[in-house]
Amino acid sequence: MARTRPVIGLTADLVGEHARLRDTYLRTVEAAGGVPLMLPPIGALREEMLARLDGLILTGGDDIDMRPFGVPLHPKAECMAPPRQEAEFATLRTLDAMPELPVLGICLGMQMMGVHRGCPLIQHLADVLPDADRHREDRVHLVETGLGSGPVRSWHHQALAGAGGFEILGHSDDGVIEAIHDPARRFYVGVQWHPERTEDPTLGVGVVARLVEAARR
């Protein structure tokens, strides 16, 4: 039986010798009715970590090193630490066999969900979008999605160029893919914005609350 307050794992970043996670993620999961649990970037243990969770958030962070996927690295890319990337893709491989575990990918998390499935990645939005900086530094822009429409906060310079086997749930007002999901799974959703820093109740804590509700069932 699921817990009254489901345990939601959040993947931690690796900065130097420190595994870390912004407090806004933890507080948003708490506000949405879940118990946040930070997962260290140890790929060999991710399967055991996932087995103890009711739901999972793949958090934001630095860029994906695309070279292991046969794609040259863009000169503007600032890659996450290799142990984190190893742990995140180990997580995604494990999730392939866990379709019942609810998953939310945020920013980088959504991009990794897509890259894992073979979706193309725009490594630098400014190459294809004249006003790409409006997606950086927590600036507010509008989205229209199946999860709700309105103002959101973003901080990214990369984005999915296509959704592959995912269903696209919405775009920003300048055409960037902002939300995806896998309709064949219980709850497998990615959003390009940062709901943990978005004030709009539907597109902010409300997105995380959808994950928490799925984790209760």
Domain extent for 84? 7-216
Whether residue 154 is contained in a domain is answered as: yes
pLDDT, residue 164, reads 86
Q: Say if residue 2's pLDDT is above 60.
A: no
Q: Say if residue 25's pLDDT is above 60.
A: yes
pLDDT, residue 175, reads 93
Question: Helices marked H in the chain — which ranges?
Answer: 23-31, 46-50, 82-95, 108-116, 205-216
Whether residue 1 is contained in a domain is answered as: no
* Portion of the chain with pLDDT greater than 70, in percent: 99
Whether residue 169 is contained in a domain is answered as: yes
Q: Which of the four pLDDT bands, split at 50, 70 and 90, describes residue 217? A: confident
Q: Each residue of 61-72: pLDDT tens digit?
A: 999 999 999 999
Domain count, the chain: 1
* Portion of the chain with pLDDT greater than 90, in percent: 95
Pairing of β 177-181 and β 188-191: antiparallel
Question: For position 28, which CATH number holds?
Answer: 3.40.50.880
Q: Say if residue 205's pLDDT is above 80.
A: yes
> Distance (Å, rounded) from C-alpha 91 to C-alpha 132?
30
Q: Say if residue 89's pLDDT is above 90.
A: yes
- Average pLDDT rounded to a whole number, residues 142-156: 97
Q: Say if residue 151's pLDDT is above 60.
A: yes
Q: Say if residue 48's pLDDT is above 80.
A: yes
Q: Say if residue 130's pLDDT is above 70.
A: yes
DSSP 82-142: HHHHHHHHHHHHHHTT-TTS-EEEETHHHHHHHHHTT--EES-GGGT-TTGGGGSTTEEEE
Q: Say if residue 3's pLDDT is above 70.
A: no
Whether residue 2 is contained in a domain is answered as: no
